Amino acid sequence: MKLNKIITTAGLSLGLTLPSLVSAAPTTFVHLFEWNWQDVAQECEQFLGPKGYAAVQVSPPNEHITGNQWWTRYQPVSYQLQSRGGNRSQFIDMVNRCNAAGVDIYVDTLINHMAAGSGTGTAGNTFGNKQYPIYSPQDFHESCSINPEDYGNNRYRVQNCELVGLADLNTASNYVQNTLAAYINDLQDIGVKGFRFDAAKHVAASDIQALMAKINGSPVVFHEVIDQGTEAVDASEYLSTGLVTEFKYSTELGNAFRNGSLAWLSNFGEGWGFMPSSSAVVFVDNHDNQRGHGGAGNVITFEDGRLYDLANVFMLAYPYGYPKVMSSYDFHGDTDAGGPSVPVHNNGNLECFASNWKCEHRWSYIAGGVDFRNNTADNWAVTNWWDNTNNQIAFGRGSSGHMAINKEDATLNATVQTDMAAGQYCNVLKGELSADAKSCSGEVITVNSNGTINLNVAPWDAMAIHKNAKLTQSSLPNNAEDWQRTVVFINAQTQSGQDMFVRGGIDHAYANANLGRNCQTTNVECAMPIRHNNLKNNTTSLWKANDNYLDWYGIEQGQSSEAQGTATDWTTNIWPSEYGTQKTVDADGFGVTPLNIWGEHYWMLDVEMDCSKAVNGWFELKAFVKNGQEWEGDINQANTPYASTNHMAQCGKINMFEFNSSSVEVRDF
């Protein structure tokens, strides 16, 4: 959803109608807090544009007081484009490059005040005693302080006194309005598409209406109005001149995720007393409340890890408001600390995810959530809501998408109804659809022929699928083959004289109902054709002879009667000296192999496999230890393409499992 030209001039209605959005249009913007202009430009080109972000909110670009603290950016000295983020030419370069990448720039804009005290700004201009390069003392209100209790009962002091000692502009003045409008119009001439009006509730709504009448065109404008419902200044006063930050969204969502029940959220939004969806800017956290101020409440931040993932997934999946994703840095408990000393894009190294920049917008669950929202905006309603009355929920966006969140310690196992077409879909929170739509780099979710999904969502996990992440059936003819090397490791503690076999294939009932295969009549229809790569183990090579299928049925015609299915070989990644002469898979068919990166007792199946027989790349298997544990018990692997009590592996990959465990690791060769 590009929000170009949606904010009208003073007194006119807001022209944003979210339900009418075109499918797959960008719907979400990101706040790259304290990023410099070169980093923002590079991020637009390399990630934000390709991933479908609509816009970037950048830190104030104008001259400000000197200092390392983040809040120095919010104490303006002039409107000269010289800041910690860069100079005017660097800012223009960033705007041009982001626009070329399809990403708009929104500028954090300070209309309420100028810097406190006296000193020299980042462009070398001096200030003091309410004297600035562009303002004189007559352009400000008389000095007075806003007391804590004023926010609840004294509108005049909130809008005419000084916010934390900052010189309060007389925004009713024509000169002040004209000066602010000239700055904003200059930014628009550069190519800026939107503006966040910082501390908007400290400016009378009538003053903003007058300012908007002097601003060219119809940029996106959203007002920072902290209103938890008990304020002397109400957020609704600002709806006629732009979008408004809905701070109650952040605190109530945080309370539900941190302390309450996700089942509460079925009517989240207007049903909770929030402002109209078409007027609201929403967020899980922002740069203020993640530091414990600015209406903090029960705010969830990057420090909450997976909880933060899940809260963002909900925000991005649920049809309410214009979402803003926060992209932070680690301030290590120092709520005044400025950004890290290293750039985000540091000579080819991405300084994300560790102790510097957090780059939450790149986290797979958040970027995937943006993709889901972009592709479901044409169905602006919640459909088929399901919950377990606690912290497992699922809901749809009509025929455009479906999602589920499991914020419990037990697996979410449920069959839920959807409005989506039957087929296989990529879970966009964990992977991406290939360019030819024939494979997914992550988990595959199946919508059954009756429109249901057999959910199998791991604890503290989520899934999201949409209509444009559907896998196509292979273009290979029915008799075509797709042979790929496939390796399976299964870790099991074994003793001398014990051997591991596996059986597997495709579930008969699933194949009959969804793939058009009659496996009861022809067993091999649900078997995976294989050719063994490792025939150097003198013991197992005899069992591998005439073993042409990974199937459910035991020995094949001509196969040794000692086999219990398809034979595997014992491997390790270390060879202690007490073992004697080192054995390797390459030379001896067992022992050390570079494919085993985990440890001892990893039994390996190394075959060429006909992947055309797999279910969008997946197949089942289960292990049997001869002269030992025998068969594994039921497996409950999460996010499989269909419900199964067996391991699910990916054809053409390296798969690692633990005996009698539901864990899985899949790697590329």
| Closest residue by Cα to residue 103 from 8, 180, 29 | 29
- Single-letter residue type at 69: Q
According to DSSP, residue 47 is labeled I
What is the DSSP code string of 578-622? Answer: GG-S--BHHHHSSEE-TT--S-S-EEEEEEEEEGGGSBTTEEEEE
Eight-class DSSP state of 515: I
Single-letter amino acid code for the residue at 551: D
> Other C-beta atoms within 10 Å of 629: how many?
17
Count CB neighbours of 313 within 10 A: 24
Q: Are 202 and 168 in contact (CB under 8 A)?
A: yes
Long-range contacts from 642-646, C-beta under 8 angstroms, 24+ separation: 642/446, 642/454, 642/507, 642/510, 642/514, 642/615, 643/454, 643/456, 644/507, 644/620, 646/504, 646/620, 646/621, 646/622
**CA-closest candidate to residue 304, choices 371, 369, 362, 360:** 360
Place of tokens 């590329």: 668
Chain centre to alpha carbon of residue 292: 23
Measured in Å, how far apart are the chain's first and last C-alpha atoms? 39
The secondary structure element, H or E, covering residue 126 is strand 126-127
Tell me how many helices (H) and strands (E) the chain has: 12, 35
Contact 619, 646 (CB under 8 A): no
Neighbouring C-beta atoms of residue 389, cutoff 10 Å:
9
Amino acid identity for residue 610 in this structure: D
Amino acid at 131: Q
For the chain, how big is the Rg over CA atoms in Å?
Answer: 30
Burial of 87 (C-beta count, 10 Å sphere; 0-12/13-18/19+): middle
C-alpha distances out from residue 438 to 420, 471, 474, Å: 19, 5, 6
The Cα 224–Cα 215 span in angstroms is: 18
Nearest to 308 by CA among 295, 297, 298: 298
Residue 602 contacts residue 656 (beta carbons within 8 Å): yes
CA-to-CA separations, 631 to 492, 553, 624, 628, 656, in angstroms, rounded = 12, 14, 4, 9, 18
Alpha helices in 332-490 (DSSP H): 364-376
Instruction: Specify whether the CB–CB gap between 200 and 225 falls below 8 A.
Output: yes
**Residue 52 φ/ψ region, left for φ over 0, alpha for ψ in the -120 to 50 degree band, beta for the rest:** left
DSSP for 193-225 reads: -EEEEETGGGS-HHHHHHHHTTS-S--EEEE--
Active site residues: 198, 224
